[in-house]
Amino acid sequence: MINVKDLSFSYCKTYQILEKIEFDAREGQCVAILGNNGAGKSTMIKCLNRILTPQEGAVSVNGRDIGSLKRQSIAQEMAYVAQQNDSSQFTVYDAVLLGRKPYIKMNPTEEDHRITRDVINRMGLYDYSLRYLDELSGGELQKVMLARALAQQPKVLMLDEPTSNLDLKNQYEVMGIIRDIAAEKKICVIIVIHDLNLALRYCDRFLFIKNSRVYSLGGAETVSCDAIREVYGMDVTIENIHGYPTVVPLCG
């Protein structure tokens, strides 16, 4: 599905943000990108779809080199939801419909509207359809931006801290929706996330970044006490609570 090879990026010659990042992920998988603040997680996913241009490396989706594609073609392959999103005088419906822009030639078709309605309903946003974005809370706006990305029907969905503005209930609801849609639509989801317990519950694979490089990549066994100590500098224990592995800090 997506293959990343030798990805390197720096904002200046003296400070390397990412160095020789390599990983791959398959359709239907949710991949958590983990690491401490400043590790380069957000920069990495911006490099994947050429919001930022890496100095080295290649990214391909289903064998198509992203670096050789035009912006509209990239948008048909990949969708991105940022940490912070601008609120503007769009209604929720129109904002989600914008996700269909890579496919619209003249005017939105009935199929574009159907997809928009389906995503709005799936995300529980029907009652907000005619509200303006600048009338929404931060959490509501985050759900709208996710809905817009889903309306894009990407093969790879990249999310930068999608639960950061959500309350506890909505964090679990949104992560559950993301996981279910990834499986149903065979979308590869790449998620920058700080909450290790949310990641363990909803993601399939886990990529730790440390010192600009991939520290480890694998299944749930990768999220170990040793890895967390090395990457975050923190001692934890991992307990099984009601069938879910749960990271418990051993400090404070």
The pLDDT, as a whole number, for residue 87 is: 65
242 has a pLDDT exceeding 90: yes
Interval 204-238: pLDDT, tens: 999 999 999 999 999 999 999 999 999 999 999 99
Q: Which CATH number is 51's domain given?
A: 3.40.50.300
Q: Where are the alpha helices (DSSP H) in the chain?
A: 41-48, 71-77, 92-97, 110-122, 138-151, 168-185, 196-202, 225-232
| Structural domain includes residue 120 | no
What is the pLDDT averaged over residues 138-145? 88
How confident is the prediction for the chain on average, in pLDDT? Answer: 92
Sheet strand arrangement including 156-160: 78-81, 156-160, 188-192, 30-34, 205-210, 213-218
Residue pointed to by tokens 């790879």: 156
Domain interval for residue 186: 2-87+154-249
Whether pLDDT at 1 is above 70: yes
| CB count in 10 Å sphere of residue 198 | 18
In 3-state terms, what secondary structure has residue 153?
coil
Q: What is the pTM of this model?
A: 0.92
**pLDDT tens across 124-138, in order?**
999 999 999 989 888
Amino acid at 55: Q
**Segment 93-121 mean pLDDT:** 95
Quote the number of domains for the chain: 1
Over residues 54-84, the pLDDT tens digits come to: 999 999 999 999 999 999 999 999 999 987 7
